[in-house]
């Protein structure tokens, strides 16, 4: 005999912690303003560094629009066709935002290399570079803090915030380059500083890229040990075997589980309810579906591994 246990009523699979949509809106407006200021200053002074930084910050606007769209989707209720809602939009946005950051780093590296191989005749006004870049760094830091606040568990908001903080580093590098240009007049300083900052950004982006790619491929979310989950299930009263255990993300902050429990004496709804509550309390798995089986399966059709 086999029974499925998921003893509760219809569940709203929207994110329990609603993303702050106004934070995305304010960050987008701030970044549009700084991009306009950098383009105007870059054209007026002939500073390619400011124009390059403007292009980099413009990628913020695109990334924030993508992340904000995903945040809105994640608040929508589930539908008969999309039974888990739109939570995966946050994961896809995190992946897209991180790839956008890597692309921007590549563009900056190419520009820096070009300027090293073919340096301009004269350095741009260092003081103007410093002033505009300081403003850009301040805007990026404020925008990053807006998104980081209350979003530590959301990979989507973390990706957008990291993108902004990384861009603040780029802008601060432009500030330092401007200061050195004022002091020395050397034109090679800015591209070298850009390459150093790009190396730092790529190092920071790598971990988030791996995490968001894993989530997009339905890998077990970080922080959840499937072996520990299996061992805990085997410790529950009446459970003699566990197979077909699957854990996957349904949003940037929530995960689901399905498993078959071999329980020769069967199980009551209260017993399964206690197991499900334990999965939520111990592992954060609030969406668990358990199938109870009174006999060990033959695995003739294939199983997920050896059965303890």
Gap between the Cα atoms of 124 and 46, Å rounded = 6
92 vs 39, residue with greater confidence: 39
Give pTM, 2 decimals.
0.62
Residue 85 has what DSSP assignment? T
Question: What is the location of CATH 1.20.1510.10 in the chain?
Answer: 21-216
Q: Above 50 in pLDDT, residue 221?
A: yes
The CATH superfamily holding the domain 221-293 is Cation efflux protein, cytoplasmic domain (3.30.70.1350)
pLDDT score recorded for residue 1: 45
Confidence check: pLDDT of 259 > 90: yes
Per-chain mean pLDDT for the chain = 78
d(CA 198, CA 216): 25
Give the best-scoring range by mean pLDDT among 21-30, 60-69, 133-142, 213-222: 133-142
- pLDDT confidence of 150, banded at 50, 70, 90? low
CA distances from 205 to 18, 101, 201 (A): 25, 8, 6
**Of 3-12, 43-52, 123-132, 294-303, where does the model show the most confidence?**
123-132
List every span in the chain annotated with CATH 3.30.70.1350.
Answer: 221-293
Task: Tell me which of 32-46, 58-72, 162-176, 218-232 is least confident.
Answer: 58-72
Angle (deg, nearest 10), helices 126-148 and 155-184: 160
**CATH superfamily of this structure's domain 21-216:** Cation efflux protein transmembrane domain (1.20.1510.10)
Phi, psi (degrees; rounded to nearest 5) at 205: -75, -25
Is the pLDDT confidence value at 244 over 80?
A: yes
φ and ψ at 30, to 5 degrees?
Answer: -60, -40
**Residue scoring higher pLDDT (163 or 246):** 246
Task: Establish how many alpha carbons lie within 13 A of residue 267's alpha carbon, considering only the half-sphere containing its beta carbon.
Answer: 29
Over residues 61-81, mean pLDDT: 72
Q: What is the pLDDT of residue 303?
A: 60
Q: Give me the percent of the chain exceeding a pLDDT of 70.
A: 81
**Angle at alpha carbon of residue 72, lines to 148 and 146, rounded to 5°:** 20
Alpha-carbon span 35 to 121, nearest angstrom: 26
Asked if residues 233 and 5 have their Cβ atoms less than 8 Å apart, the reply is no
pLDDT class of 66 with cuts at 50, 70, 90: low
């Amino acid at each position: 005999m086999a029974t499925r246990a998921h003893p509760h009523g219809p569940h709203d699979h929207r994110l329990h912690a609603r993303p702050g949509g106004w934070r995305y809106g304010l960050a987008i407006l701030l970044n549009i303003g700084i991009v306009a200021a950098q383009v105007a200053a870059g054209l007026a002074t002939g500073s390619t560094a400011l124009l390059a930084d403007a292009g980099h910050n413009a990628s913020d606007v695109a990334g924030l629009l993508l992340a904000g769209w995903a945040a809105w989707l994640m608040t929508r209720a589930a539908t008969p066709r999309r039974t888990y809602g739109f939570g995966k939009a946050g994961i896809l946005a995190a992946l897209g935002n991180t790839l956008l950051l890597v692309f921007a780093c590549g563009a900056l590296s190419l520009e820096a290399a070009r300027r090293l191989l073919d340096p301009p005749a004269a350095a741009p006004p260092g003081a103007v570079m410093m002033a505009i870049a300081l403003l850009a760094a301040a805007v990026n830091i404020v925008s990053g803090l807006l998104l980081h606040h209350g979003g530590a568990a959301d990979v989507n908001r973390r990706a957008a915030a990291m993108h902004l903080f990384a861009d603040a580093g780029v802008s601060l590098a432009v500030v330092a380059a401007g200061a050195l240009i004022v002091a020395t007049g050397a034109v090679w300083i800015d591209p070298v500083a850009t390459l150093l900052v790009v190396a730092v950004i790529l190092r920071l982006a790598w971990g988030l890229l791996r995490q968001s790619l894993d989530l997009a491929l339905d890998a077990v979310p970080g922080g959840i040990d499937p072996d520990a989950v299996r061992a805990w299930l085997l410790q529950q009263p009446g459970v003699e075997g566990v197979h077909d255990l699957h854990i996957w993300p349904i949003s940037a902050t929530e995960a689901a589980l399905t498993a078959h429990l071999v329980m020769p004496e069967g199980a009551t709804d209260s017993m399964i309810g206690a197991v499900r509550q334990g999965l939520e309390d111990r592992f954060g798995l609030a969406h668990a579906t358990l199938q109870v089986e009174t006999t060990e399966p033959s695995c003739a059709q294939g199983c997920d591994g050896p059965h303890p």
